């Protein structure tokens, strides 16, 4: 069996100053996503369904009002897989390297994406996320930070999502994506099947100024929920994962599971 297509190493730290990204934050703080969101969504959903046979289960677990969607992260397509089955517009937090002097920066910012300077205490990214949640919007944030290079989930969560959840009091929906680490093999005409599973929302009691330990504990709990959902799909295998996810969602509905308290 041939090996997977190799991916380029990540460049983690962005040397550009924070002021370079001010206009992107201001746009997202002022208004919800504009028409590029729906345009990109139509294109990427077609790609996801037609090429990767992507299916999603449990989208009804995404509530109205302020919400944080927290998927695992193994592919550049995870933004699109996460939003494919949710009618709400999701403002994704994305690495600052995606923003620069190229046309896609315009698409990103007008589509509701905003930058985060990884490896630094980027308060502007948090201000933008709080602004979106404050108007009842949805924020997408990866609990692991950067992409997994192996497809396996990280051992420990980044504390930032814990801070966002605790200070905002917003519901957090864990999202498990199975198979996205293999989609780069499309270059060899090998199209992995992708399954997206939205879990019941976690709800944390709001804390005005959570300690680092409190942030980490909340983040770890979110990652634990993602890990449990992902493990269920992984154990089933690519061929049975969709059926297992469907059955799990049906059990939730039968049990009247509207949410799991934090």
The model's pTM is 0.88
Task: Read off the pLDDT of residues 18-62 as tens digits, 9 standing for 90 and up.
Answer: 999 999 999 999 999 999 999 999 999 999 999 889 999 999 999
Give the pLDDT score at 2. 44
Q: Is the pLDDT of residue 224 over 60?
A: yes
pLDDT band at residue 250, thresholds of 50, 70 and 90?
very high
Give the pLDDT score at 11. 57
More confident residue, 69 or 256: 69
Give the pLDDT score at 261. 38
CATH classification for the domain delimited by 18-257, as one of 3.40.1130.10, 3.10.129.10, 2.40.50.100, 3.40.47.10: 3.40.1130.10
Give the pLDDT score at 75. 85
- How distant, in Å, are the alpha carbons of 84, 123, 183, 195, 201 from that of 186? 19, 37, 6, 17, 33
Buried b / exposed e over 164-192, threshold 16 CB at 10 Å, is bbbbbebbbbbbbbbbbbbbbeeeeeeeb
pLDDT band at residue 6, thresholds of 50, 70 and 90?
low
Give the pLDDT score at 150. 61
pLDDT band at residue 181, thresholds of 50, 70 and 90?
confident
Q: Is the pLDDT of residue 5 over 70?
A: no
pLDDT, mean over the chain: 88
Cβ neighbours, 10 Å, residue 120: 12
Q: Is the pLDDT of residue 71 over 80?
A: yes
**Within 13 Å and on the Cβ side, how many CA atoms surround 156?**
7
User: For residues 176 and 245, what is the distance between their CA atoms, to the nearest angstrom?
Assistant: 10
Over residues 2-21, the mean pLDDT reads 69
Q: What is the CA radius of gyration of the chain?
A: 18
Give the pLDDT score at 256. 67
Task: Read off the pLDDT of residues 137-158 as tens digits, 9 standing for 90 and up.
Answer: 999 999 987 676 666 787 889 9
User: For residues 237 and 133, what is the distance between their CA atoms, to the nearest angstrom?
Assistant: 36
Q: Is the pLDDT of residue 259 over 50?
A: no
Q: Is the pLDDT of residue 3 over 60?
A: no
Buried b / exposed e over 224-260, threshold 16 CB at 10 Å, is ebbbebbebbbebebeebbebbeebbeebeeeeeeee
For residue 170, give every residue at least 6 positions away whose Cβ sits within 8 Å of its Cβ, in sequence order, or none: 65, 66, 67, 68, 133, 139, 164
Over residues 238-246, the mean pLDDT reads 93
Give the pLDDT score at 208. 93
Q: What is the DSSP string of the chain?
A: -PPPPP-PPP-----S-GGGGHHHHHHHHHS---HHHHHHHHHHHHHHHHHH--EEE-GGGS-SSSEEEEE--SSTTHHHHHHTT--S-EEEEEEGGG-SSSHHHHHHHHTT-EEE-TTS--HHHHHHHHHHHHTT-EEE--TTSS--SSSSPPSS--THHHHHHHHH--EEEEEEEESGGGGGGGGGT-----EEEEPPPEE----SS--HHHHHHHHHHHHHHHHHHHHHHHHH-TTTHHHHHHHHHHHHHHTT---EE-
């Amino acid at each position: 069996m041939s090996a997977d297509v190799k991916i380029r190493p990540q460049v983690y730290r962005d040397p550009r100053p924070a002021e370079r990204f001010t206009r992107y934050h201001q746009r997202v703080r002022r208004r919800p996503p504009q028409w590029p969101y729906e345009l990109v969504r139509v294109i990427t959903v077609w790609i996801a369904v037609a090429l990767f046979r992507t299916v999603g289960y449990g989208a009804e677990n995404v509530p109205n009002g302020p919400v944080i969607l927290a998927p695992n992260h193994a592919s550049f397509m995870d933004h699109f897989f996460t939003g494919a089955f949710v009618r709400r517009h999701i403002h994704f937090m994305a690495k600052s390297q995606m923003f620069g002097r190229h046309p896609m920066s315009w698409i990103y910012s007008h589509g509701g994406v905003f930058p985060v300077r990884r490896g630094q205490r980027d308060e502007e990214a948090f201000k933008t996320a709080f602004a979106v949640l404050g108007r009842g919007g949805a924020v997408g944030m990866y609990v692991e930070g950067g992409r997994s290079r192996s497809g396996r989930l990280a051992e420990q969560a980044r504390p930032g999502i814990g801070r966002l959840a605790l200070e905002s009091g917003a519901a957090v929906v864990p999202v498990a994506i199975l198979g996205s680490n293999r989609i780069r093999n499309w270059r060899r005409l090998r199209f992995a099947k992708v399954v997206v599973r939205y879990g019941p929302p976690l709800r944390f009691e709001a804390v005005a100024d959570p300690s680092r330990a409190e942030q980490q504990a909340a983040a770890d709990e979110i990652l634990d929920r993602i890990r449990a959902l992902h493990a269920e799909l992984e154990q089933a295998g690519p061929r049975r994962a969709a059926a297992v996810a469907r059955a799990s969602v049906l059990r939730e509905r039968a049990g009247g599971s509207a949410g799991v308290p934090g």
